[in-house]
A and B are shown apart, each in its own frame.
Chain A
Amino acid sequence: SQKIEQNSEALNIQEGKTATLTCNYTNYSPAYLQWYRQDPGRGPVFLLLIRENEKEKRKERLKVTFDTTLKQSLFHITASQPADSATYLCALPYTGFQKLVFGTGTRLLVSP
């Protein structure tokens, strides 16, 4: 069955450094992959979508890569700030585009 893995341990980094989060998947051939941010007590907020034919996508301080051979996506936040502290979720479409399957999320803590 389809499986998405994200590092369940929290990632602690210092302000100004680059945070890198990993999303690995098996038994999928997704047409795209999405990343969401979730703050405590809130619903996920969409950040970026990357298609299978795109190797890299950027938005301000965010960069996402998508390696369909390795079945992996990397999510980078450059020049990290304490306000970036949150849980980051990757999500893949299941059948067609009607349903998203989410990873467990990785909690990022950025210290001043």
Chain B
Amino acid sequence: GAGVSQSPRYKVAKRGQDVALRCDPISGHVSLFWYQQALGQGPEFLTYFQNEAQLDKSGLPSDRFFAERPEGSVSTLKIQRTQQEDSAVYLCASSLPSGPTTEAFFGQGTRLTVV
């Protein structure tokens, strides 16, 4: 597709349930990022991939969060044993290799609600 695609658009999970969020980046984009955006806040960095290598996962809030990009294209963000504080919009972004003019292209996000 022409842009970054995320699925599902909306997810309601019961507390304690595991969820998996998918991101299809723009074809050919080497870098892939996951961000978490709470209501009324800016996006907050979670993790970064360059191809299949996860180079930075410093933003993952706990060991319940796990991300992978096994073939260097599609990425999945998994949240185990969801808690209410995990409710947020999860944004995926992709870009060409990082450099001084890096522009990140964002998907529409997945809105996760934990009840």
Interface residues of A (CB under 8 A from B): 4, 6, 8, 31-32, 34, 41-46, 49, 51, 89, 91, 93-94, 96-105
Q: Hey, which bits of chain B sit against chain A, CB under 8 A?
A: 4, 31, 33, 35, 40-45, 48, 50, 55-56, 59, 91, 93, 98-109
Contact B103 A102 (CB under 8 A): no
Instruction: Give me 23 A-to-B residue pairs in the complex whose CB atoms sit less than 8 angstroms apart, sorted by A's number.
Output: A8-B40, A32-B101, A34-B103, A41-B108, A43-B91, A43-B107, A46-B103, A46-B104, A49-B101, A51-B100, A89-B42, A89-B43, A93-B102, A97-B99, A97-B100, A98-B48, A98-B50, A98-B55, A99-B45, A99-B56, A101-B45, A102-B35, A102-B42
Asked if residues A102 and B98 are in contact (CB atoms below 8 Å), the reply is no
Q: Is the interface of B mostly helix, strand, loop or mixed?
A: loop
* A99 contact set on B, CB distance < 8 A: 33, 45, 48, 56, 59
Residue contact A46 to B100, C-beta cutoff 8 Å: no
The distance from the CB of B54 to the nearest CB of chain A, in whole angstroms, is: 11
Could you tell me if B106 and A44 are in contact, using CB atoms closer than 8 angstroms?
Answer: yes
A residues near B93, Cβ cutoff 8 Å: 43
Give A3 to B31 CA distance when docked, in angstroms.
Answer: 24
Cβ A45 vs Cβ B31 within 8 A: no
The answer on a CB contact under 8 Å between A105 and B106 is no
Q: Do A43 and B108 form a contact, CB below 8 Å, given A31-B100, A98-B56, A98-B98?
A: yes
Q: Which residues of A contact B106 (CB under 8 A)?
A: 43-45
Flag if B103 contacts A49 (CB, 8 Å): yes
Q: Are A97 and B42 in contact (CB under 8 A)?
A: no
